[in-house]
Amino acid sequence: MSQQTLSERETKDAQNAVKSDTKPNTKKLFIKTYGCQMNVYDSERMADVLAPVGYAPTDTPDGADLVVLNTCHIREKAAEKVYSNLGRLRKIKNARAETDRPMTIGVTGCVAQAEGREILRREKSVDLVVGPQTYHRLPEVVAKAMAEGPQVVTDYSVEDKFEHMPLARKKQVQARGVTAFLTVQEGCDKFRTFCVVPYTRGAEVSRPLMQIMTEARSLVDAGVREITLLGQNVNAWHGESASGIPIGLGELLHELAAVDGIQRLRYVTSHPNDMDDGLIAAHRDLPVLMPYLHLPVQAGSDRILKAMNRKHTAEKYLDVIRRVREARPDIAISGDFIVGFPGETDAEFEETLALVDAVRYSQAFSFKYSPRPGTPAAGMDGQIAREVMDERLQRLQSLLNRDQLAFNQASVGKTCEVLVERKGKLPGQWLGKTPWLTSAWFEGDASIGDMVTVELVEAGPNSLRAHLS
């Protein structure tokens, strides 16, 4: 996504994604998730793959037998956080070394893939380093690490990892809630000059239609009501229909919309060049496809877009937005931005602000450019001073915040459906999302999983207050 590319929603709740169904005599597994939604999904799959060998999830590292840090490499800060967390874990591990419950520490995800053996050199307490393409081998790697010492597995395996991972058990899916992620595409061949994803997630691969349908049905059988399809370039997904005809994401969404029990579909993250007519038409034709599109642009200057190797202009991006809005007039648009790409002038940055003005995002994620090892932009002339990036980010974010609040305010007075996801902080409060992916809360009679009709009555910067109607 364009790793959040999967978009950069912080995954604060991710470690809770796997709630405990601990049985006596099982080993305890704690997974901490950094970064994008795909990492959240991967953490769940790792828990699924380790369940049959006796690992049950727990929500603290203290008593865990196996601690996994599922890491993010997209920006420098994300990677550094991993090493500081490993330092803290080392202390717990050392304190447990002489007991009958030693701790095993694993590093997975994109830092594992990018740094491999270097992690073992920097942090001696690590027992295993496993990249994203080999999660299906975790049980074997954990056993080997415990028997023989540290293991590093970062090859791009030729076998299909998804084929080798069990579907989550019903109880586990239920414990994770009524919304779920489902990876349909992984990896990236686009080689944007700033982006580390092609090096950490590998080449673009689409999962076959039948595999996706089977997983979707099992999620729905367990009570999931909303599925978000994931891919670093999710709209580049391609496959074959049952009769062997080539199909794209639009058709996949049609297939999924026909599954009984699916009430909402979303997908993230898309590239403007892959927004084809079939996908745009799906936004017009499928009521279960929610009116929300995360479409990163990164910058508003054509010269910078070219230096990023994005292969589209600002005008082409705006044209995609226009066509999507024609198909689904109420669609909420979200995006990702990078300020301070090497060589970005003040005037070029102003073009980003102008693009923001033209689009009016409902929400967006914006970042200071962070040089990533091995990417072409890291070695380019004209690296931008930190203070300049700070100032640009602040200016951009104040525009984006203005638009997010305006979007929320424009929702007041509307009646819509909210999928109830969890209880609020106060008794009698419920939280869920509007079709436009805004958080909404209300008081009254409801349960998790209900699709309730509400009137939106008050807007805050990050959420809406609603009344049951």
Enclosing H/E stretch for 152: strand 151-153
| # chain residues binding ligand 5AD, by CB under 6 A | 18
CB of 145 to ligand 5AD, least distance (A): 31
Give the distance, in angstroms, between the CA of residue 245 and the centroid of all CA atoms in the same chain.
30
CB of 184 to ligand 5AD, least distance (A): 18
Collapsed DSSP state (helix, strand, coil) of residue 132: helix
Q: Where are the alpha helices (DSSP H) in 258-313?
A: 277-285, 302-307
Bridge partners (DSSP) of residue 186 are 205
Enclosing H/E stretch for 266: strand 264-268
CB of 74 to ligand 5AD, least distance (A): 5
Give the distance, in angstroms, between the CA of residue 60 and the centroid of all CA atoms in the same chain.
22
CB of 235 to ligand 5AD, least distance (A): 14
Piece in contact with ligand 5AD (CB under 6 A), picked from 3-11, 100-108, 135-143, 439-447: 3-11
Our finding on whether 336 is near ligand 5AD (CB under 6 A) is: yes
Q: Which of 14, 78, 114, 195 binds ligand 5AD (CB under 6 A)?
A: 195
Piece in contact with ligand 5AD (CB under 6 A), picked from 160-168, 173-181, 242-250, 362-370: 362-370
Our finding on whether 230 is near ligand 5AD (CB under 6 A) is: no
CB of 230 to ligand 5AD, least distance (A): 13
Rounded distance between C-alpha atoms, residue 130 and residue 107, angstroms: 6
Site string for ligand 5AD, 55-74 (x = CB under 6 A): -------------------x
How many residues does this entry show for the chain? 469
Residue 43 or 298: which CB sits closer to ligand 5AD? 298
Piece in contact with ligand 5AD (CB under 6 A), picked from 1-9, 164-172, 397-405, 442-450: 1-9
The dihedral formed by the CA atoms of 339, 343, 345 and 348, expressed in degrees to the nearest 10: -60
Site string for ligand 5AD, 5-24 (x = CB under 6 A): x--x----------------
- Which of 94, 98, 133, 95 lies closest to 113 in space, CA to CA? 133
Rounded distance between C-alpha atoms, residue 107 and residue 126, angstroms: 7
The dihedral formed by the CA atoms of 165, 168, 33 and 191, expressed in degrees to the nearest 10: 50
Bridge partners (DSSP) of residue 71 are 109
Give the distance, in angstroms, between the CA of residue 23 and the centroid of all CA atoms in the same chain.
30
- Which residues between 367 and 396 bind ligand 5AD (CB under 6 A)? 367, 369-370, 372
Piece in contact with ligand 5AD (CB under 6 A), picked from 4-12, 205-213, 285-293, 352-360: 4-12
Residue 8 or 348: which CB sits closer to ligand 5AD? 8
- Which residues between 421 and 450 bind ligand 5AD (CB under 6 A)? none
- Which residues between 273 and 332 bind ligand 5AD (CB under 6 A)? 296, 298
Q: Strand 55-57: give its sheet, edge to edge.
A: 55-57, 27-33, 66-71, 104-108, 128-130, 151-153
By CB under 6 A, name the binding residues for ligand 5AD: 1-5, 8, 74-75, 194-195, 296, 298, 336, 338, 367, 369-370, 372
